[in-house]
Amino acid sequence: MRYFLLAVMLCTLGACDRASDQTGQEIAGIDKNVGDFKDGDTFESESGLVGKLDISQRGESVVDTPFQNAAGQTVRLSDFAGKPILVNIWATWCAPCVVEMPMLDKLAAREEERLQVLVVSQDIQGPEKVDPFFDKAKFAKLEAYTDPDNGLSFGFGSGLMPTTVLYDSGGKEVWRVVGAMDWDGPRAAMLLEETLSEG
């Protein structure tokens, strides 16, 4: 198990490094900064979570492929318009994803007046795999959304989980973090504040 987790982390680091070659290039007409952060910045937490800031899709409309809510009904990201949305794609087999989940739950509770936090599983088994995970975790705010067809993963085009995308209240992308993030930490708070203070 230890070797498996190490392999996942190394794979994550490698994928993030490949993404940085693309996001580090000049992006015409787009502000490459978010507060004190710039496109391609790497975030590494004390617990070993590593992610990269990607602003290359800023201003793009919400990825609106269908997925399912906990009741099995079809929903789309556009259904959540009116408040900024933080969308995290994850899977139960993805070790960094699982580490992020309690932090995302705390963030959802902390910012529930200003932000909607959606965690959408890309497990191909759907609720069969996700429901037991949620039953055991007993999250206070997160709901079990599933996307067994991986529509959001393909739509985001990151090729890596976790990927977390922030949309403003108008459904336009602000930034994304490709890889894992300490959502309890000051960097996450700073990244979110500009959008949340406008909303």
Name which residue leads in pLDDT, 142 or 2: 142
Domains of the chain and CATH, by start = 2-198 (3.40.30.10)
**From the CB of residue 40, how many other CB atoms can be counted at a distance below 10 Å?**
18
Residue pair 162/90 in contact by the 8 Å Cβ criterion: yes
pLDDT digits (tens, 9 = 90+) for 108-145: 999 999 999 999 999 999 999 999 999 999 999 999 99
pLDDT digits (tens, 9 = 90+) for 18-59: 333 333 333 334 456 676 788 888 888 887 889 999 999 999
